[in-house]
Amino acid sequence: MGKWRLKLVLLLTLLNIIGILTIIPYEYALMSKESTPGNIPNYLIIVINSITQVIYMFLMILIGLRLQKRTGLNTSILNGLVYPEYKVHISKKGLINSIGVALMGSLIVVLLDVFIFSPLIGDPIKQLPSPNWWQGLLASIYGGITEEILLRLFGMTLIVWLLARITKKKGDSIPNSFYWIAILFTSLLFGIGHLPAAAQVFDGLSGMIVIRTLVLNGILGLWFGYVYWKRGLEYAIIAHMSADIFIHALITPLFY
Cα dist. 99→30, 136, 150, 165 in Å?
28, 18, 20, 33
More confident residue, 81 or 189: 189
At 87-115, the pLDDT tens digits run: 788 999 999 999 999 999 999 999 999 99
Q: How many CB atoms lie within 10 A of CB 146?
A: 24
Lowest-confidence region among 34-38, 50-54, 191-195: 34-38
The pLDDT of residue 34: 64
Average pLDDT over residues 158-169: 96
**Percent of the chain having pLDDT more than 90?**
71
Query: Per-residue confidence at 33, pLDDT binned at 50, 70, 90?
Result: low
- Mean pLDDT over each residue of the chain, to the nearest integer: 91
At 118-145, the pLDDT tens digits run: 999 987 776 666 778 889 899 999 999 9
Average pLDDT over residues 68-80: 91
Q: How many CB atoms lie within 10 A of CB 169?
A: 17
* Secondary structure (DSSP) of 38-80: GG--HHHHHHHHHHHHHHHHHHHHHHHHHHHHHHT---HHHHH
The pLDDT of residue 1: 46
Angstrom distance (rounded) from CA 161 to CA 71: 6
**Percent of the chain having pLDDT more than 70?**
94
Residue 3 has pLDDT above 60, yes or no: no
The pLDDT of residue 184: 98
Lowest-confidence region among 16-20, 78-82, 167-171: 78-82
Residue 194 has pLDDT above 90, yes or no: yes
The pLDDT of residue 255: 81
Query: Per-residue confidence at 84, pLDDT binned at 50, 70, 90?
Result: confident
What is the pTM for the complete model shown?
Answer: 0.93
Lowest-confidence region among 30-44, 58-72, 78-92, 99-113: 30-44
Average pLDDT over residues 184-194: 96
Query: Per-residue confidence at 36, pLDDT binned at 50, 70, 90?
Result: low
Average pLDDT over residues 64-70: 93
* Secondary structure (DSSP) of the chain: --HHHHHHHHHHHHHHHHHHHHHHHHHHHHHTTS--GGG--HHHHHHHHHHHHHHHHHHHHHHHHHHHHHHT---HHHHHHH-TTS-----HHHHHHHHHHHHHHHHHHHHHIIIIIHHHH-S-SSPPP---HHHHHHHHHHIIIIIHIIIIIIIIHHHHHHHHHHHT--GGGS-HHHHHHHHHHHHHHHHHHTHHHHHHHHTS--HHHHHHHHHHHHHHHHHHHHHHHHT-HHHHHHHHHHHHHIIIIIIHHHH-
